[in-house]
Amino acid sequence: MDDRTVWITGAAGLIGSSLLRTAPIHAPAWRPRGLTRQTVDLTDDQTVRLLFQQDHPAAIIHCAALSRSVACEAQPALARKLNVDVTAHLSELAESIPFVFFSTDLVFDGRQGHYTEQASPRALTVYAETKLAAERVVLANPGHTVVRTSLNGGTSPSGDRGFNEQIRRAWEAGRMLRFFTDEFRSPLPAVVTAQAVWALLEAGRPGLYHLAGSQRLSRWEIGQLLAARWPQLHPRLEPGSLRDYAGPPRSPDTSLDCSRVQALLPSRLPGLAEWLATNPDVVF
């Protein structure tokens, strides 16, 4: 393999597959190799080490994770193994090369919103706890990078990894969906996330970055945008409130301030409404 090979773990997921699709245009100097569950078991340290020695990648972008919050709550030991231990091993292998790790806006408790990288995290869930623990491992190497992102949408190989895909499936089945009016995120199309990560990797500026949409939206506003996008589905939606929610803890406002990464990017990070309006013919 040439010396510009870059591993992309979780290549069958939403962001990983978007990185592969956008590489020819936005990272032509890199030779991406997508790693999936079918190609390598990332929990098998010996196999991963041998593959690393064989490929000798020049960088790793680590997208693979147990990201379903319900699954993490049900299997905390597995969540730690996949989200922390695997990350620690890959970070160790990548000691002397660029390593980009995907984290989440959910490392914050959501009491403040518009979080900068200097804000103090406070995880409320097992998923967030494991991501925060992995962040600390990665950032112990000053040459490595953590990217905290928010809701990502788009088209994934399995058809169910983007937040929009889950909503679309529910509406295709005729289900009524309730969207909180008082829970806020900074959603972004995964293709934009991928383009930004390629630019960040090329910039050679490691560290901690927030990478999300420039528009703070409530779940209800997100639902309305998607309903307008897909009138043919006859979407059924109603507003709800976190005050009436009785499930596991939720962070009410994890909107992110992305000005630090924006300064390194060749184009502006759009809000979801803007991106949908300027890309009417793109499947989303």
Note the pLDDT of residue 2.
Answer: 52
184-185/217-218 β-pairing: antiparallel
> How many domains are contained in the chain?
1
For each of the chain's 284 residues, which pLDDT tens digit applies?
A: 457 999 999 999 999 999 999 999 999 999 999 999 999 999 999 999 999 999 999 999 999 999 999 999 999 999 999 999 999 999 999 999 999 999 999 999 999 999 999 999 999 999 999 999 999 999 999 999 999 999 999 999 998 899 999 999 999 999 999 999 999 999 999 999 999 999 999 999 999 999 999 999 999 999 999 999 999 999 999 999 999 998 889 999 999 999 999 999 999 999 999 999 999 999 89
Note the pLDDT of residue 1.
Answer: 42
Q: Is the C-alpha dihedral spanning 182, 284, 127, 258 positive or negative?
A: negative
Q: Which tokens hold the place of 222?
A: 């997100």
Q: What contacts 172, CB < 8 A, 6 or more positions away?
A: 233
What is the distance between the alpha carbons of residues 211 and 29, in angstroms, rounded to a whole number?
A: 23
> Has residue 237 been placed in a domain?
no
Task: Give the position of tokens 């890199």.
Answer: 30
> Has residue 240 been placed in a domain?
no
Burial of 138 (0-12, 13-18, 19+ CB in 10 A): buried
User: 131: domain CATH number?
Assistant: 3.40.50.720
Q: What's the pTM?
A: 0.96
What is the distance between the alpha carbons of residues 211 and 201, in angstroms, rounded to a whole number?
A: 13
Q: Which tokens hold the place of 254?
A: 């994890």
DSSP three-state, residue 126: helix
DSSP three-state, residue 275: helix
Q: Which tokens hold the place of 30?
A: 């890199």
The alpha-helical segments, DSSP class H, found in the chain are: 14-26, 45-55, 69-74, 76-80, 86-93, 126-139, 163-172, 190-203, 219-229, 259-262, 272-278
Domain that holds residue 60: 5-154+187-214+256-269
> Has residue 248 been placed in a domain?
no
CB 97 within 8 A of CB 204: no
> Has residue 160 been placed in a domain?
no
> Has residue 167 been placed in a domain?
no
> Has residue 251 been placed in a domain?
no
Q: What contacts 153, CB < 8 A, 6 or more positions away?
A: 14, 162, 163, 164, 165, 187, 188, 189, 190, 272, 284
